[in-house]
Each structure stands twice: as structure tokens, then as C-alpha cells.
Chains A and B, each alone.
Chain A
Amino acid sequence: MNNRYIDRILAPLLFVMMLLTACSGAGAPDNRSGNEPSSLAAGTEGEPRAGGTVTYGFPSPFKGLFEPAFYEGEDDLRVLEFITEPLFTVKDDLTTVPGIASWQESADHKTFTFKIKHGVHWQNGDELTVEDWKFALEVIADPNYAGPRYYSVEMIEGADAYHTGKAKQISGIRVIDPYTLELRVTAARVNTIDNLWAYPMNKRYFAGVAVKDMPNSTQVRKAPIGIGPFQVTNIQPGEFVEMTRFDKYYKGKPLLDGVLYKVFDDKMITSLFEQGVIDMEQAPRDAYESLNKLDHITLMQSPDLSYEYIGFKFGHWDDKAQKIVMDNPKFRNKRLRQAMYYALDRQGIIDGFSNGLGKLAETPISSESWAKIPEDQINRYPYDPGKANELLDEAGYKDLDGDGLREDPKGAKFVIHFDGMVGGTNDEPRTEAMLQNWRAVGLDVRLNGGALKEMNTFYTMVEEDNRSVELFNGVWGLSNDPDPTGLWRENDHWNYPRWSSKENEQLIRDGISLKAYDRDYRKQVYYDWQKLINDEVPMIFFAERVTITAVNKRLQGVKINAISPIIDPYKWWIKDSE
């Protein structure tokens, strides 16, 4: 009886949510689609009140690198999001705006003057000054720095000389007073601020610790401090982190007394939520159905900053020239690629195998981003086997020997090999469904080597352009800034399809040119680029992944977006159960 009740309430609610998403997506691009339903689903009942602790779950042991400059995985990041904050704020539409720090840009876009707020405190009592930020930039640029973030400081003038040990100072950083910092960058880039490292590191706290010893220092492992709303009180390596509220937090005293971040095994997640052991966690998509049945749990959805794609191999990477070479003729025919797009029942596969958790995507820019092209301006490649057949016939792929499978235009057997990764429980039947879709339009697509591959094997083969890899089903993350450099240029190693074109290169360059400081111009460039990609189909964009965050209804004030499920946790509060 209970379940039926939920169905009756939730089904219309879901429908309304979908409607809202659709409306805001089409009509007003500024109205962030993802957040409407989530804040609606979270509900705010009653007046916020102080007190109580919540348990935030995570599915695997954390590594314990609690310093933004060094952490590598989401496991440590989730803790950092409670204890510290960047100096800039990234909004829901993925634009970077002033936060603790605000800035002025010189006319040539090469000099920035940053001012930070007064009265922001570290959890050890020190006041935040720009020296702490300068210190963080120096740590990352240090020759002995072994973390992955050098890209976020390399645009600073003199960072290169410092990084190679040729200079004792980074010439582009100048402290004017404790609250003012001047930064010179090597060239004008429209996304300088988006890429710039924005987390401070307490200089005094790290005094006497050499950069190479930092990852394993007490300051990082045992007693990390930040400027965020919660401070670490107890760390049990790999198991839990206890945090209590930080009363001098600059945005105001947090409502919760504390947060317990604890590791649980995913297999038990539904029971744990049912029993109220966990209050909040990003849940695995497999658990969606069972969690959805719990009436004291809200499931919030947000598009992830990542997309699933099926790439075509157009060539290989020339290591000497550091450039792609498009020498594989297999998928050169655009109509073949488009036909394969039409032949895929993407929505059906998402509904059938992923509980509908996926948002169809046709371009590699997040649907949350200001630069995402409206859906009515591109071809959405709806499931249309008829259209696929038509395109294949036009392109000369015809079934000549009557076996139901098409031969290539020269009349030879046409077999396509497909590669994918093993991960969740549904991966094999899901892949089989895709292959069936293509077979239905007469394309003989087979699993390369007869099986899906383990992740490392898969990416190694794709990366080294193994001859047997033709069609590959991968996932890419997206950064906040829509600039496709890094994945889409001809000299990008991560350009796995090994595809590019003159127009592609030109548009990507335009998008970060001086003219792109005009936001409307930049937006138009990315619209044009997305149209190009949409027509060329260098890869079949399958869908944006959707993350689900389960939240116990006793926990109020939660808001999530594409970047994180932990936004302003100082506003979280616990509703009285009585």
C-alpha cells in the first residue's frame, strides 16, 4: 500500500520535473535546467535551525590527501569541499565569478589585480592574506611538486623559469598589500580565470615543510586546515573523517554541529539509507530503483560533467610530429557515421539499462554550460532506422549477397569492430543492444575480441591506436570552461578519434582569441563549432551521465549542481523528526 502511494505521488512529480526541465531548457537558456527540479525535490520545510550532525557516505576508502593542490580523487575532494573553498565561485552555468577574491583586468588582458575580502579566517585562527594564495601558486610551480595541477599556474609569467629551477621567484606575482595581489600572465587568454589555481594554502602552517614532503606531512594527512565551514577533528585513515563546525567561517556560523564523512560498501546502500545510517551520498545508478522506493529519501539528479561517446577511429597519433594523421579510410564517409547515429536507440538503451539516468547529448559541451547550443539548432539524431537505411543506401553500402548485412561500396565484406569497458552489471547486455541496433540496419558490428575490456586495457588500446580498435565506447569528463582545446585539436594527444578539420581548428582558435572577450562572440563561435561537430559526427555523443544524490529528508538546505553535491554546506540543517 505504501508503495502504491509513493508511485501515485512520485509519478506526477517526476512528470512535472521533466516538464520543468524541458521548458527551462528550450525557452530560457539562462534558467539553469538542472537545478529547478533538484531544489524542488529537496523541499524546504520549516525554519532552519541549528544543531545536529549528518553522515555523508562514500563507497571506497579515501587516500587522505587533504590539500587541494595534491588530492587526486573524488574520495578526498568530498572532504575538502566541507573544509575549504576556492577564492572564486563557479556558478551553476559553469561561469567563474568573484567570490572571496574579485579582480580587475588590464586592457591587454595580461595583468590582473586581485583583491580578497578582509576577515576570512583559517581554522587555526590565522587571517587569510594573499600571501597564502601566492604560496599555493609557488608550491604548484615548484620543481619538486609531484601533483597534477601545474597546468593551473603555467600561464603566470615566470612560472616556467621557476618550475625548471632557473628562477627563485615567480616574476609574474606581486604582493601589493596583504589583501591585494597583482598577477601577470604570459598571454591574453579568455579563460585565464577559469584555469587559474584558486585555492590558498596557509603559508605559516606549512612553514618548514619542503614541497616534496608535503603530500605526506601532518599538515595534509592528520590535521588539514581550510577556510571552509567545517574543520577536521579526527581522521581514521581510509574509514572516516570527523568534522565540526567552524564558527569563524566568513559566510556565517554553520547550522550543523558537524559532519561525519564515512566509508560504506555500495552493496548495502539502500539498507543504510533505510536505517538512517547515511544521510547523504552520491548513489550508484544501479541503486536508483531500490532507493526510489524509500519515502524518507529524496533522490536528486544532476547532469554530471561528463559524457559517454562512441568514437570512430580516423587515423593515428604521430608521436614525432606530435600531431594526428587521418589515414584510416574506414569511416571517412560522413553518411555512414550519421547513419550509425540514427540507428542507435539511445533513449531506449538508457531507459532499458540505466533506469533512464542519462540525458541525451549531441555535442561535447555540458548542458549546464552557457555555451551549450539550444537543442532546436542542431540535429538531435533521433532513433530512425529508416533514415539510417536511406543514408547507407545513398552512401553505397548495400547488401549484395543477400545475407542481410551490407557490403562496403566496393562490394567487399564490411565488418566493424566495437570496443567498450566492463564496469557495471548491465554493461554486456547494454552493449549487445547497441550492436543489435546496428545489425538491424544491416551493419555487421562485432565486439572486438569477443568481449568488453577492463578499463586500463581499453584506454591503453585506444590511446596507442591499436589497429583492431575501430569503434570505441568511452567516457570523457568536461571542464567548466567550454574551450575544447585538449581533446579536439590536431595536436592534442587526447584526441582519440584522431579527427580534425580546418574549420574545426579555426573555430577552436577563435573561441579563445582576443575577440572572444566579447561573450556573445565567443558563444556564437561555440554554437558554430557544435553545429560543425553535430554535422561531421567524429563521434556519436551518446548521453551526459546523470549522477543521483540520495538525501535523507531530515537533512534540509541541500543543493546540488553539475560540479558538486556539496554546495554551501553551512546552510544545511536538520529538521526535527517530531
Chain B
Amino acid sequence: MLKFALRRLAGSVPLLLVISVLVFMLAKQMPGDGLGGGLNPGNKDPRYITEMREKLGYGDPLVIQYIRWLKDAATGHFGQSFLYKMPVGELIGQRLPATLLLTALSLLITYGSSLALGMIAGRNPGSRLDRLIRTAAYVTYAIPTFIAAIFAIYIFAVVLRWVPLGGTVSVVTSGGLSALGDRLVHALLPAAVLGLFNTAAYTLFLRTEIVENSGKNYVRTAVAKGISRSSVYNRHILRNSLIPLVTFLGMDIGALVGGSVVIENLFAYPGIGTLFTAAVSGRDYAVMMAVTLMTGFMIVAGNVVADVLYGWLDPRIRAGYNGGRS
């Protein structure tokens, strides 16, 4: 299985190359280069701009610029952020922990609550509880994330003041374990909102799967064999119903790095998402490239994880790992 995973990851290299070419060319096609426009004539000495454009090599043919970037990237140098004037690696290192905490927490909330809610609803289809969960899920599903975010901020951070408003840490921290707790509290609301949409969707998926599976022959067999109802649900039905969710998990792992652009901006939560929007509007090519590639790589990696999980859930899929190739 390890071999399989490694092979899949290695296979992602050409894909990442294609992504990098596309992103590079598209980014360069955007009008402006971060040096034009602007407001302040004092900062806009034409000679400075010409000098900078020359220094940054913006005048060279795109292919040459790309190859220069690729050469550096191959040796692990993703360049200097034009906007922040620091190495991209360092910049991302500064922002990544906050984003990872946010998205991981959001994954936890999403999968935890959708598993619980989906199972409850799926076990008692048609019941009042089921209808309540379904209605709630549909309503949540219909609310755009950014609207939910603004409402959540207003209710929980402004009116009730249960959670802090914006940022990733409090101004006064004592360090140690409480510092981690402080970061968690800051990430809680954005993570919940970020997971809201998916929670609703997954709850509904899982519920449908469970309802559908519980009518299948193997369930009737198991019940006839005298296995207890809860054991049938938890072992047989749940395991089979999880397969579609695993596909989503693969993508969600990919989204760990780049999936919170909107939320981070709304919550003034400085992570990779806010960095990316700033990079796009400021034409910070080095940062744009690094973030998109990182996201691309994470999506590939997430899919590998999903494939491995499929095999664990369903041995028939596992058999396919070796078939055909070896």
C-alpha cells in the first residue's frame, strides 16, 4: 500500500508541472504587474518602476520567466514576495499554521457532526428528529457561506461575545498550553462556519446512504442471523455508507491549505487564504505560484489518502491496487 501511495504521489509531478505552467501564464496575463496604477505620485517615480521591472525581469519573454522560476523552484527557492519583501517560504511558514488549525478544526467539526446527525437521521427515517435534521440541513445548505459568516460574527462575536472577533491569537497571551487554547478559541467560529455547508451536505448524503443500505439483502441476512440492531447499523451499514464520503474527504484534505479564502477574509483571520487574495490583487506572482502549487499538491495527496481509505472500507477496491500494474 505504501508503494501504491508513493507511486501515486510521484505521478503527481507532471500534473503539478502542468498546473504551474497554467497558473504562471494566466497570472502573467492579468493586467498590471503590481507596479502600475496606484495613487501616490510620490511613490511612483517612473525610473523606479522601470528599474524594478528590469530587476524583476518582467520585460523578458514569458517562457524565459517561467523557466527561471522553474529552475529556482526545483532547488526549493520559491522566490521573494514582491508585496511583503520576504522569502515566500518564510511567509507561508508564518501563515500556514493558522490556516491548518482552522481547516483541520473545520474538518473535525464537519465530519464529527455530519456523522452523528446522518446516523441519527438515517436510522429513524421519517421520524420527527429526522425531519428536523433534514430541514436544518436544507436550510444551512441554502445559505451562502459569506452570509452565514457575517451573521455568525454578529451574533456570536459581537452580541453574545462568546468568541473573540478576528485574528488568530489574543493580544495578551501567557504561552504554553493556554496559548494553544487561545488559538483554538479564535479558530472555532470561522471553522464552524467554514464547515457548515459541508456538514449539511454530508449529513444528507450519509442519511440517504444509510436508508438505502438498510434495505439491502446483506442487512436482512445480518438481522436474520440475530445480530443486534445497533451492531448491524454501526458495523455493516455505516461502513458501506461511508464510501461516498471518503471521496469528499480526499478533496477536503486538499482544501486544508487553500480552501478558506472567503472565510479568512471575512473573519480577518490572517492565513494562507488572505495571503492569496492579497497576492492576486497585488500581482505577487511568487506567492500566487507557491500557494496554488501547494494546494494542487495537497489535493493529489488527499486523493491518495482517499484511495487508501477506500481499500480499508471495501476490500474489493483494495484488490484493484495491484491488479493490472504489477
CB within 8 Å of B: which residues of A?
60-61, 63-65, 70, 72, 146, 148-151, 215-216, 221, 234, 236-240, 242, 260, 262-265, 267-268, 271-272, 275, 277, 306, 454-461, 463, 475-479, 486-487, 493-494
Q: Is there contact, CB below 8 Å, between A477 and B274?
A: no
Tell me the bound Cα distance from A403 to B270 in angstroms: 56
Interface bin, chain B: 35 or more
Closest to B42 in A: A479
Residue B214 CB within 8 A of the other chain: no
B154 close to A (CB within 8 Å):
yes
CA distance A221 to B41 in the complex (A): 26
Q: Is the CB of B48 within 8 A of A151?
A: yes
Whether the pair B158, A271 counts as a contact (CB closer than 8 A) is yes
Return chain B residues, CB-CB under 8 Å to A458. 37
Least CB distance from A114 to B in Å reads: 22
B269 nearest CB across to chain A (Å): 9
Q: In the complex, what distance in Å separates the CA atom of A562 from the CA atom of B265? A: 29
Minimal beta-carbon separation of B91 from chain A (angstroms) = 9
Known A148-B45, A493-B46; contact A268-B39, beta-carbon cutoff 8 A: no
Binary CB contact string for chain B from 36 to 66 against chain A (1 if under 8 A, 0 otherwise): 1111111111111000100100000000000
Beyond A61-B268, A275-B158, 4 additional contacts (C-beta under 8 Å) are: A151-B42, A262-B167, A268-B165, A456-B30
The answer to whether B169 and A239 touch across the interface, beta carbons within 8 angstroms, is: yes
Q: Does B162 contact A (CB under 8 A)?
A: no
> Which chain A residue has the least Cβ–Cβ distance from B51?
A150
Chain A CB within 8 A of B94 CB: yes
Is B52 a contact of A146 with CB atoms below 8 Å? yes
Residue of B at shortest CB range from A271? B158
Q: Which of A216, A267, A275, A478 contacts B85 (CB 8 A)?
A: A216
B270→A456 contact, CB < 8 A: no
- Shortest Cβ distance from B80 into chain A, in angstroms? 9
Pair B167/A64 contact, Cβ less than 8 Å: no
CB distance from B179 to the nearest CB of A (A): 12
**Beta-carbon contact of B270 and A146 below 8 Å:** no
- Given A236-B169, A239-B167, the answer on whether A265 and B267 have CB atoms closer than 8 Å is yes
B43/A72 in contact, CB under 8 A: yes
- Contact between B165 and A70 (Cβ–Cβ < 8 Å)? no
Pair A268/B36 contact, Cβ less than 8 Å: no
Q: Is the CB of A456 within 8 A of B283?
A: yes
Q: Report if A262-B85 is in contact (Cβ < 8 Å); known contacts: A271-B154, A487-B41, A494-B41.
A: no
Shortest CB distance B24–A (Å): 17
Q: Which residue of B lies closest to A70 (CB)?
A: B85
Write the B141-170 contact mask toward A (1 if CB under 8 angstroms, else 0): 000000000100110001000000111110
Q: In the complex, which residues of chain A have a beta carbon less than 8 angstroms from the beta carbon of B46?
A: 493-494
Give complex CA distance A254, B182 in Å.
31
Cross-interface CB contact of B32 among A63, A151, A221, A456, cutoff 8 Å: A456
- A267 touching B41, Cβ below 8 Å: no
| The one of A63, A146, A242, A477 that contacts B42, using a Cβ cutoff of 8 Å | A477
**CB nearest to A220 among chain B residues:** B85
* Given known A72-B43, A459-B32, contact A264–B165 (CB-CB < 8 A): yes
Q: List 18 A-B contacts (CB under 8 A).
A: A60-B278, A61-B274, A61-B278, A70-B85, A151-B48, A236-B171, A238-B94, A239-B167, A240-B167, A242-B171, A262-B171, A265-B267, A268-B153, A456-B37, A459-B38, A461-B31, A476-B39, A487-B41
As a 0/1 sequence over residues 86 to 111 of chain B, the CB contacts with chain A under 8 angstroms (1 = contact) are 11001000110000000000000000
The smallest beta-carbon distance between A213 and chain B, in angstroms, is 10
Residues of A within 8 A of B84 (CB): 63-65
Interface-central residue, A149, A239, A271, A275, by most chain B CB under 10 Å: A239
Chain B residues with Cβ under 8 A from A151's Cβ? 42, 45, 47-48
For B186, give the chain A residue with the smallest CB separation. A239
- Most chain-A CB neighbours within 10 Å: which of B154, B270, B278? B270
Among B52, B150, B169, B270, the residue within 8 A (CB) of A61 is B270
A480 and chain B: residue at smallest CB distance: B42
Tell me the complex Cα distance, A454–B47, Å: 25
